[in-house]
A and B are shown apart, each in its own frame.
Chain A
Amino acid sequence: MNHYAFYLANTLLHAYPDGSLWYPSKRILCVSDLHLGKSERIARRGGILLPPYETRETLWRLEKAVAAIDPAKVICLGDSFDDLDAAKSASDETRTTLARLQTGREWVWIEGNHDPGPLDLGLGLGGSHREEFKSDPLTFRHIAQASAQDVVVGEISGHYHPKAAILGTRHRPCFLLDKARLIMPAFGTYTGGMSARQAVLANLMSTDTLAILTGKYAIPIPLAACTIR
């Protein structure tokens, strides 16, 4: 199998090589940090002008992931849109694709720091908007709670776009997993990343954290063995 199966809070989960998370017993598919409309936002704010295709690209990959597994529920773990303007000005194509994906299943938009407002009602993007989502014993929220000590066991979050590598390989997006929590990689195209060995992530995770690399296969390695960048 190309995915990596593990237990968090005694719950079986699958980390997929495309960066999505599968919760088999509840048939939930979770993706984080889609950052739809990113090139449009960067251009709007005076940065580099990228051809505005990455939204389509991200949605294509999401469609593929959804089609492969047919989930009952999809959770988008925050920063689904690069900002609220990007959500407001989502193209017809984006809206149609989302509507198609939402047909026959539940769809949850968790709010993120980039898209704090409600996406469901006012913006007509379907689904339901939540600050966080609990599915006992798991909690889905955008940003992990402050420190490794007071974490609720079973927290699943995104936000940091972790990446990791071992000596001699290139950095790739990864999941970070310890006994208490899971931090997910960004699913969106062009979303960059933060080295998993950086202090801000190291402070969140315990010392025996696993990095699950994405790519062709989901490959688990001890975070301590990853290169520091």
Chain B
Amino acid sequence: MEMNTLPPKFEDWFTTKGWSIHPHQVEMLARADAPSLLLIAPTGGGKTLAGFLPTLVELANDAHKGLHTLYVSPLKALAADIKRNLGTPITEMSLPIRVEDRTGDTSYTQKRRQRADPPHILLTTPESLALLISYEDAPKIFAGLRRVIVDEIHALAESKRGDQLMLALSRLQTLAPGLRRVGLSATVEDPDAIAHGMAAHPDPCPILLAHPGPNPDISMLVTTQRPPWSGGGAKYSIPAVLDLVNKHKTTLIFHNTRAQAEIYFHNLWLANDGGLPIGIHHGSLSRDQRAKVEAAMVRGDLRAIVCTGSLDLGIDWGNVDLVIQIGAPKNVKRLIQRIGRANHHYNVPSKAVLVPANRFEVVECVAALEAAKENDLDGDPKGAGPRDVLCQHILIVACSAPFDPTELFNEIRTVGAFSNLSRTAFDNCLDFCATGGYALRAYDQWKRLRELNSKWQLRDPRSAARIRMNLGTIYDIETLKVKFRRSAKSLGEVEEAFAATLTPGDTFLIGGQIVRYEALNQLTVEVSRNKGTTPKVATFFGTKFSTSTQLSQRILRMFQEDHWPDLPDHTSEWLQMQRRVSKLPEAGRILVETFPQNGRENMVVYSFAGINANRTLGLILTQRMEAAGLNPLGFVVTDYALMIWGLTAVTNMEPLFDPDNMRDGLETWLQGNAVMKRSFRMAATIAGLIERNTRGGRKSGRQATFSSDILYDTLAKYDPDHLMLQITYEEAMRGLVDFGRVEELLHRTKGRVDHVTLKRVTPLAAPLFLEPGCIPIFGDGRERLLQDRAAELMAEAGLANL
């Protein structure tokens, strides 16, 4: 077909630009008729243009009316960025194409107009798309749709947002049967899995691999100053990092959490004597602030940006020539993708520097460097399609029009992740949407669907508004806006749990400035300016990434080497010392150290299973210790180890690490666990059982948490087979709890637990004492301590003989 080659107008344009078209761009054009196509290309490889080229060519002749191409990206910012970039070829070739974006930030009037008169190309996010397909006029809006482009599909595929998007695409495919799908992805370890998730099942999805480009130039920052024993601040690296910023045009300084980014940014400015323009960008900042930084970046006004995952994806921010990663990257794939942000020019190697935040991360960084050199990418396999997202999808479909359950079931089965969905599982979800599930069927509010003439529809059409208000699968930790008193401008957001710890007068960091907490006003944290240099409250929480299994194994292999020429002296000396006083952990075995400290009996387990799996292992071990009368009081976890402390010393390791009967008692133990409650909150929110947004405004996090916790408790007690609990258990086992990893670990190391009894703390264990985030065990040990403490207090008050 002539349409599948580059028309002269486009060729001329490329020529005037002095560009030559990349081979994969030609290929994408040639295969534009494929029902599904996945392009894997490194950042800077002209991926987006490759995706849009067929659309631009098809639309160049002005024949198409209405929506032609839907572009979906995980980030609102990306949609805005693409709109800007598409503007250039469209204007310069005078193409008759209208491009608009539609995200949570688009105005209400604009959105209304878009529904009545859609543009040729609509740029959106999975959430805005879900909202679009929930409208009664969805069939009209999407009738002429020809192509859908899913950008950064590797990022979406990792989360429920991807599942929601693919469900939405199955709907679109029904509304516009000729729809072709294109996925654009960065380098990933398992392209087939992404292709499987993307195509309309059972269609095949061919994969097009672009040339990967030259190997990146990555190194680890070595300073004369020693990294600290623990923590994620990496403050020691500030002078060296400023020096690097000075030597480059634009530097991105990545952090693993928002809190770390804030603190680092603050410290950078305290040391920034040369007044280098440095900005900060992360998801907790207000939209205005982010937009300001983005604009300054595009203009090239900034020399560095301190950022988090919010800048992870392929936005083209101009001349970034250096990427600095503060803290161990935890995951090689993410590292490679971040590195790809430097030098958006094909055929020029990206340059990156890793900055370990503490002594142990030095080891992790070296291991990650090796893995990156070997391009040994990691990742965890994804499970079947999540049923909470399915429930939400059923409600979305019902908002649009009455549906036939069998037709909907068949449509859903075309989604890769749901291709094995059983009719029973589907019916259970439908029943949940219709009644709220067994324990809840007494209430009308949860009866949202009814059957009429063998079609299901909303019981009350007015409920559509409520359902729409609560769409989406992004579960933000509850946050509160931070504002100066008597000011309308928001400085950003902090997590509610963090806000709850503040007392008036406390100072903390937000948006790079120190503010003083004044009061909590409704859902706003009111603050005032503060001149101090050190915030009193160091941090607010952030998501912790888990180190990938592959990376952990690499670290364990490194430990077994005789000496470590790649490690800085301070770190190799530390490891040598550990080897002298105790042992270094080995792959395939578990090292356990026990020693007394601070009047408690401590047990450190070097499992290298990642933070989530270690937390679960901690729950299993403490449960067994509680049963054995060992009075555990609490534990703390990191990616590589966990430390449990209690009243009684542990001597017999074998029964504790027995891989059999792990699930016994774990369920009851887990039931009261905060992790389960959090999983429940997420699942119940996504499935529509808990509404976070109501007409009266958004519920405060504490309200919502309270309600969801008692709801969870009751269901767990009286209706443990309720769909929401099944989903909670499944999710907790897989994601937050990482049960699979623990199971595998204990089986693999059965009979290979090395117990070292010591008189005091070891070099490798010492950092654990500085680790925040202790998980308390409310067992008999704590009850005994409480009694002891109460008796002391009674005695102090002179009431001992009462």
Contacts and interface: CB of A to CB of B under 8 A. Distances in A.
B747 to A, nearest CB: 35
Contacts of A210: 799, 802
B786 A219 contact: yes
Nearest to A177: B802
A136 B195 CA distance: 81
A124 interface: no
Interface string B650-670: 000000000000000000000
A51 B786 contact: no
Contacts of A23: none
Contacts, number: 66
Nearest to B795: A222
Nearest to B439: A51
B782 A43 contact: no
B711 interface: yes
A216 B782 CA distance: 11
B443 A170 contact: no
Contacts of A52: 442
A25 B255 CA distance: 68
Contacts of B802: 6, 210, 220
B710 A190 contact: yes
A216 B783 contact: yes
Contacts of B789: 166
B454 to A, nearest CB: 29
A215 B783 contact: yes
Interface string B423-452: 000000000000010011011011000000
B21 interface: no
A220 B794 contact: yes
Of listed A213, A216, A217, residue having the most chain B CB within 10 A: A216
A49 B445 contact: yes
Contacts of A225: 793, 796-797
Interface in A193-213: 208, 210, 213
A170 B797 contact: no
Contacts of B719: 51
Contacts of A49: 436, 440, 443, 445-446
A51 B780 CA distance: 31
Size bin of chain B's contact surface: 20 to 34
A224 interface: yes
A109 B297 CA distance: 72
B707 interface: yes
Interface string B672-716: 000000000000000000000000000000000001001100110
B108 interface: no
Interface in A1-28: 6
B690 to A, nearest CB: 9
Interface string A163-206: 00010011000000000000000000010000000000000000
Contacts of B783: 215-217
Given A49-B445, A53-B439, A222-B794, A169 B786 contact: yes
Nearest to A49: B443
B718 A51 contact: yes
B434 to A, nearest CB: 15
Given A6-B802, A220-B794, A221-B793, A50 B787 contact: no
Contact of A43 (B443, B786, B793, B797): B443
A53 B714 contact: yes
Given A49-B445, A49-B446, A221 B710 contact: no
A50 B707 CA distance: 8
B778 A170 contact: yes
A220 B711 CA distance: 32
Contact of A50 (B711, B790, B794, B799): B711
B84 interface: no
Most buried by B among A166, A215, A220, A224: A220
Nearest to A51: B439
A54 interface: yes
A214 B442 CA distance: 33
A166 B782 CA distance: 12
A221 B443 contact: no
A68 interface: no
B618 to A, nearest CB: 19
Contacts of A219: 786-787, 790
Interface string A57-96: 1000000000000000000000000000000000000000
B717 interface: yes
11 contacts: A48-B707, A49-B440, A49-B443, A51-B714, A51-B715, A166-B793, A190-B710, A210-B799, A217-B783, A220-B802, A222-B796
List the 9 closest pairs (A to B, CB-CB), nearest first. Answer: A51-B439, A222-B797, A225-B793, A48-B707, A221-B790, A49-B443, A53-B718, A51-B714, A219-B790
Given A51-B439, A170-B778, A225-B797, 6 more contacts: A49-B446, A51-B442, A51-B718, A169-B782, A222-B793, A224-B797
